[in-house]
Structure 1
Amino acid sequence: MRRYLRVLVLCLGCGFCSLLYALNQLSVSLEEEETGGGGKLKAAAASWPTVSGRVDGKGARSVGPKNHPGWSTRYRLMKTQSSETMHLAVVACGERLEETVTMIKSAIIFSIQPLQFHIFAEDHLHRGFKNILNGWKFLQTFNYTIYPITFPTENAAEWKKLFKPCASQRLFLPLILKEVDSLLYVDTDILFLRPVDDIWSLLKKFNSTQIAAMAPEHEEPRIGWYNRFARHPYYGKTGINSGVMLMNMTRMRRKYFKNDMTTARLQWGEILMPLLKKYKLNITWGDQDLLNIMFFHNPESLFVFPCHWNYRPDHCIYGSNCREAEEEGIFILHGNRGVYHDDKQPVFRAIYEALRNCSFGDDKVHSLLYPLELELLKTVHTYCGKIHKIFTKQLTKSIRDSYNRPTKES
């Protein structure tokens, strides 16, 4: 009798376990039908970064994935590519609205992953940025926040006088954008000829000590400014140019910097003002000079990328001296010296005007590339014009890649 009871209990136990398993499978099946992916949507939503959006003067608000204007498109993008949002910052003052908008357009046109723009601008420029960027909402591939120009209260006047009225704002980005881990800072006169994704990927190449990446100020020491005229320490043989600066800001905020003012190492927020007080009579290029001094004392903290990531007139006006651009083309164009707005370097101006005038819906081959190539043929009388093909090599590749890339809707 006991044997039969044991068999009965065993059978009942097996039956109960089978029932639990069946109920569990039914629950999973119902969840998949509701979400279309077995909880994948919930996982994607949980990993989506929260961004800040400024709304018509009403302050900042948190924008989560479901109420984000680009949510549906961005989720489709996530299914085939990385969901990482790339953060890009720019500081605009004076009459730099059009130039900054053209830079932003060049970043949007070719980039793959979503972009978050942090725009620091004088108050009179805010309405202009909103009017233009809100008209691009249909793209659903970017978001932006506009900030006022702000400096530490006790030393605001000194920072405003440094080089240009708001140029030194970039030094305080790690302290202002406390929730941003990594950031690409660019000057207003930057044009992207390759996707922002390409330079963003360099963050993964940083070693354990590197916190930022910049290009050399010069490739040829005979025409270098720092090695001939600087009255302060500078990085490497020819200094560094800060017009394109990739930053791991989490590391920047944590690091203690060696310096020549005290035996104690100082953090980012502690070192800026003492540096300015010590060197303000010796610096010419403002915040860029302060960065050179900092990385002179902390060279292990800098990742140096090649000149085709920050190609300037100095790379061609005296003859070509950027080997990487000669081999691969220009990735990022930097139109300093005001060359987008005068006739001194017509190659730079032609590319700026081509990108300024193009529309997002245009056929980029026929409306952008072909007319630009014809325009560049008129510039061969200049040193930069003689090598005009390096200016369109990567642009051509970017346009071709954008047509071959699966659409975000697919």
Structure 2
Amino acid sequence: MDDGNGDVNFNNFCQFCIVCKIKKADNLIRQENTTHPNIPWDQQRHQITTMLKTLLYFSKAPTWRILVLTDTPETFQEVLHMSEAFPSSQRSRLSLEHQPIYITPEHALDRRPCDWAKLFLSELLPQEEAVIFLDTDIVFLGPGEQLYFLLSSLDETQALALSPDPQYLVESNPRRDYAGDVGINTGVMAANLTRLRKLPGGSSGTAITQLGPIYPEPRDTQDVLNFYLKRNPQLLLTVSSRWNFLPSSACLAEAPKCPDCSAMGILVLHGADGSFHRTIDLKVFSRAFTHLSLSVPPHQLLSHIKEELSVIDRSSNVGEVGICGNYSDISQDLLHNLEQLVYGNEKVECPLLADLLLPGEGVSRSSCETLGNLLA
């Protein structure tokens, strides 16, 4: 419970997503940080299914408590129906709870009214102390329980942990205010609601509203939150891209390097801006996880993805640098956690390091393969 200083018991934290079918937009719903904000409901259903499948696949947690914020009870029932297609042993690990969204009158006519809900979390979720918000167009590539680290990393003044979005650096028409060194992305957001309730009005949304008009006019709540956090940097913890890897931004030349992505593997892959469909490499990962069966053994999934990647003609469409020129082997970073799931701490002989190792000494399989890819 809250100790009066904004510290909370993170054993009680949950994850949540926002799912809406906006009537005024012909059955289209919101999507974060994109020039095409309205996407078909069928596509959103596939995204939610993939997000939940990959969460279960990589996690060892016995249960996951997930709040689904929706515009109508019927939308929540559709989400429940999606999860019923999972094997019963996996479905029983999901505790899906419904939470209706309250949309303030001033935002009801916005082109993405549900988007504003995540700025009023401390009011919408009065019973919660801390939450992790997830966009529905993300794919887990490792254990979702690692997200706990984001909440536990907040210091005594910080309330939000977010990954960088260097797209703000290259936008110039118009130039927008951004938080941190390069801007932040809200696709994965760790929030200490206890601290947000201490803001004027009891939430970030109300505190932002009290600032008055924002110029230039924001495209979405991500722009709004960047504007606010630039003026309140003490509330923000910027974490590395491994927690929310958005290729359209993370692969820019201006993007900060992410040693964590190589050392620990990318945990969450974010498909905003059509990232999953831009390059051949990412299409391989997108197809593999979209069509993932929860009964497929990890070694079989790994073998399938590697086989698909091995036959890609990299001279077609993507050029020699592959999907991300900032990284020597981004595919290895994307596969890191899956390889850990398959091989664990298994040590193998690595001829490439024979002169550096003692007789009989081995290294991890993934380390040897990474070195081989670098020298190829």
Do both share a fold (TM > 0.5)?
A: yes
**Which residue, 369, 373, 377 being the options, matches 2:306?**
373
Q: Partners of 1:100 and 1:402 in 2: how far apart? A: 32
Q: Partners of 2:138 and 2:204 in 1: how far apart? A: 26
Report the equivalent of 1:64.
none
More helix by percentage: 1
**Which residue, 236, 260, 263 being the options, matches 1:302?**
236
Contact between 1:235 and 1:293, CA under 8 Å: does it hold in 2?
yes
**Which residue, 106, 113, 129 being the options, matches 1:155?**
106
Runs of 4+ in 1 over 4 A off after TM superposition: 229-232, 317-321, 399-403
Please state if 1:116 is matched with 2:60.
no
1:317-336 residue pairs with structure 2 within 5 A?
Answer: 322-324=257-259, 325-336=261-272
Residue 283 of structure 1: how far off its partner (Å): 3.3
Cα deviation digits, residues 250-290 of structure 1 (max 9, x gap) = 1111234xxxxxxxx97535324334x501x5234310111
Residue 196 of structure 1: how far off its partner (Å): 1.5
- Inter-CA distance 360–144: structure 2 relative to 1 (3 Å threshold): same
- Inter-CA distance 122–353: structure 2 relative to 1 (3 Å threshold): farther
Contact between 2:208 and 2:228, CA under 8 Å: does it hold in 1?
no
* Bigger mean CA deviation after superposition, 235-244 or 318-327: 318-327
TM-score calculated relative to the size of structure 1: 0.65
Q: Partners of 1:102 and 1:394 in 2: how far apart? A: 17
Please state if 1:205 is matched with 2:205.
no
Q: Partners of 1:212 and 1:88 in 2: how far apart? A: 14
Residue 358 of structure 1: how far off its partner (Å): 1.8
1:143-222 residue pairs with structure 2 within 5 A?
Answer: 143-152=95-104, 154-158=105-109, 160-161=110-111, 164-218=112-166
Q: Partners of 2:169 and 2:205 in 1: how far apart? A: 30
User: Unaligned regions of 5+ residues in structure 1, if any?
Assistant: 1-46, 48-81, 257-264, 404-410
User: Unaligned regions of 5+ residues in structure 2, if any?
Assistant: 2-8, 21-28, 30-40, 347-376
Residue 217 of structure 1: how far off its partner (Å): 1.0
Per the alignment, in what secondary structure is the counterpart of residue 339 of structure 1?
A: helix
1:95-106 residue pairs with structure 2 within 5 A?
Answer: 95=41, 96-106=44-54
Residue 231 of structure 1: how far off its partner (Å): 4.5
**Which residue, 250, 256, 271 being the options, matches 1:315?**
250
Higher relative contact order (CA 8 A, sep 6+): 2
Report the equivalent of 2:281.
347
Q: Which has more radius of gyration?
A: 1
Per the alignment, in what secondary structure is the counterpart of residue 139 of structure 2?
A: strand
Report the equivalent of 1:245.
189
Structure 2 residue identity aligned to 1:390: D
Structure 1 residue identity aligned to 2:271: G
Q: Partners of 1:246 and 1:86 in 2: how far apart? A: 10
Q: Partners of 1:215 and 1:92 in 2: how far apart? A: 22
Report the equivalent of 1:134.
84
Per the alignment, in what secondary structure is the counterpart of residue 246 of structure 1?
A: strand
Percent identity over the alignment is: 23
Report the equivalent of 2:349.
none
Structure 1 residue identity aligned to 2:309: L
**Which residue, 70, 75, 88 being the options, matches 2:15?**
88
- Inter-CA distance 232–323: structure 2 relative to 1 (3 Å threshold): closer
Contact between 2:299 and 2:342, CA under 8 Å: does it hold in 1?
yes
Contact between 2:17 and 2:68, CA under 8 Å: does it hold in 1?
yes
Cα deviation digits, residues 300-330 of structure 1 (max 9, x gap) = 1111111121111232366986432244431
Q: Partners of 2:71 and 2:236 in 1: how far apart? A: 30
- Inter-CA distance 380–389: structure 2 relative to 1 (3 Å threshold): farther
Residue 402 of structure 1: how far off its partner (Å): 12
Per the alignment, in what secondary structure is the counterpart of residue 306 of structure 2?
A: helix
- Inter-CA distance 90–144: structure 2 relative to 1 (3 Å threshold): same
Q: Partners of 1:399 and 1:129 in 2: how far apart? A: 31
Structure 2 residue identity aligned to 1:384: I
Cα deviation digits, residues 104-161 of structure 1 (max 9, x gap) = 2211222233311111234464333111223445333220113444302x32424x33
Contact between 1:110 and 1:399, CA under 8 Å: does it hold in 2?
no
Q: Partners of 2:239 and 2:273 in 1: how far apart? A: 22
* Bigger mean CA deviation after superposition, 373-382 or 186-195: 373-382
Residue 230 of structure 1: how far off its partner (Å): 5.3
Residue 297 of structure 1: how far off its partner (Å): 1.6
